[in-house]
Amino acid sequence: MRHRKRTFNKLGRTTSHREAMLANLVCSLIEHRRITTTLVKAKAVRPVAEKLVTLGKRGDLHSRRLAISRLKNPDKVKALFGTIAPALADRKGGYTRIMKLGRRASDSSEMALIEWVDYVGPAPAATTEAPAAEATTGDAKS
């Protein structure tokens, strides 16, 4: 019997592929603070991200090890426990927000933006830098 067994979307993937994809989405959410993905993936990543924030709010070693086992990325877990979880410490739940963006032009799948609700932290570091202007010495050939 399946009494009180909650169904979830398998996203057309095997278990290992689905778990890896959700872990990667949560790592991207931790790094960029908001990500754009399909609505179905956003709805699937929400419970994973919120459970990890709850672990981050506990903050003990066991919680950190559980988060590392889920995300497979100690740097992102450090960011989660160090900045995101303390910023969301006064909330009792509902750490993420999903906003619908409309349909994607190529395949008409519903797109959504998932982001942290109250977290206003430092902006992610820019990956592209402007090239430094070279100093000219006056020996320029004409």
pLDDT in tens, the chain (142 residues): 989 888 888 999 999 999 999 999 999 999 999 999 999 999 999 999 999 999 999 999 999 999 999 999 999 999 999 999 999 999 999 999 999 999 999 999 999 999 999 866 666 665 555 555 555 555 555 4
Residue 6 backbone dihedrals phi, psi, to 5 degrees: -80, 135
Q: What is the pTM of this model?
A: 0.81
Domain residues for 60? 33-116
Domain assignment present for residue 46? The answer is: yes
Residue 91: CB atoms within 10 Å? 13
State the DSSP code for 103.
Answer: E
Q: For residue 111, what is the enclosing H or E element?
A: strand 110-116
CATH of the domain at 84: 3.90.1030.10
Domain assignment present for residue 58? The answer is: yes
Number of domains forming the structure of the chain: 1
* Pure H helices in the chain: 15-32, 39-58, 61-71, 74-79, 85-87
Domain assignment present for residue 14? The answer is: no
Domain assignment present for residue 139? The answer is: no
Look-up of token digits 């959504």: 112
Residue 34 backbone dihedrals phi, psi, to 5 degrees: -155, 140
Contact indicator for 114, 26 with CB cutoff of 8 Å: no
Contact indicator for 38, 111 with CB cutoff of 8 Å: yes
